[in-house]
Structure 1
Amino acid sequence: MRLLAPVLAFLALLSTAVQAADDRYTFVMVHGATAGGWEWKRTGEFLTADGHTVYRATLTGLGEREHLNSPEIDLETHIQDVVNLILFEDLHDVVLTGHSYGGMVVTGVMDRIPERLKHVVFLDAAVPEDGQSLWDLFGGQGMDPDRFKDGFMQVPWVEPGAKPPYSVKHSVKCFSQPVSYRNPAALALPVTYVAFVPADQSVEERAKKDRSWQNAQARGWTIRTFPGGHVAQQEDPRGVASLIADSVGDRNRR
């Protein structure tokens, strides 16, 4: 019995270590329009501190890749950015997250390489149907023509000489190009939709107006809410990091 006790203690410790390893995930995070991987830095740092592996994608022409910006960049370019990141880093069982416009991008990635994905989290993100563009999804709402010129969506809150990190102009083709979402393996992936709900808006009100929420619900995805504005990851990066990690266990309804 004296010899058995330390053996049992060792086995219990080993089991705990294996369980801890099983709870560590590989995250690939995709930002929204005009932003960059920088917008998810603090959230990524919290996930890394929790033992996870984090890749913060920056889409072509945005963030630190602003020097590649062009009106010829489209949604397909950005989908390929993330697909190549996953393939060239040889990532498997990826927890893929998309914020805002990033929902269009991760939808395309799901359709392209579902076998590399473990779970997908749409964070206050666009949830398009197969063959829809972002403009189609929102019916042109918020697409003020005065904000679009020379092939770009101009961002009025960026001032000349601003210090990085900052948002940049974004090619209009990213918003007008439709996305493919028809791969049966993609349709079967477990997905969580998270609505960032500000204090002055009720959850019920948001659910009635949010077409992405409605699409997610119709597909049987898990619906979660988080208190905060559209960039809640900057307001509460710790909370958003914990939410993302907790979402990995979510399963679709039949």
Structure 2
Amino acid sequence: MENKNEHINFLESGLLSPFKKWSAKWSLWPCHFITSCCGVELAHAFASGYDGERLGTLNMGISRQSNYIIIEGTITRKMARALQFVWGQMPDPKFVNVIGACGERGGIFWNSYNITHPSDIVPVDFFIPGCPVTPESILRGVRATQDKISGIDRKTIEFKKVELPFEKQLEERMVPTSPKLFAPTPAIKVDVKSEVDWDHGRELEKKLKKELDGLYKSITITGTNSIAIRTTQENLMEVARKLRDQMKMDHVKSVNVIEVP
């Protein structure tokens, strides 16, 4: 695998170095290598809200016209060959960002037999952690790459070591106390009456009330071609038999079971 600073060295060489840096910095055209769910965050980052293109990053779907690849997810052994192929098609100088926990160390698939690390396949400039990554972090990775091109040392995240006091409470893993206030369970209503122009439905409602007399709590027209029958657990089977045998109904569209205290 080539040296990840090879392209930076190219930009810093020669009399035209300032112009090469300037053009590369504001012309990062990413090719998206999407293998996992972090890819959806790119749409957010480059939509009108965050407007990632204001940084000069114009999304390209063709590797031969890209100089910046964003690896968006887990790289399996099968996809490693595709990644290397796409990387080889990109013109120099080119740069790599890896986003998400899956791209960095495999994420939840870290111990799978077929997982590889992108840094073993192509020279990675920056890792952007997250599960999923945020649009801000994606743009932070773009800015970090631009700063690297300009010769500024940057990191997308900084870690610091802190001493956490070990207490007995941490070992016992105390259960949190119950809330002092309880919100009442909201009423669920599936038989709300609707005033619709449905003459056949009103006739059918009267017939149902006659045939199911004593077996239902309510029979309500909830919309055109929709009648809700509310019954009890004990009468459910008998209601179904009467609908089948006496009303000659042979198709069940929906049965809702609601038990809310």
Same fold (TM over 0.5): no
User: What interval of TM-score do these two structures reach, taking the shorter chain for normalisation?
Assistant: 0.3 to 0.5
More relative contact order, 1 or 2 (CA 8 Å, 6+ apart): 1
The structure with the larger Rg is 2
TM-score by length of 1: 0.33
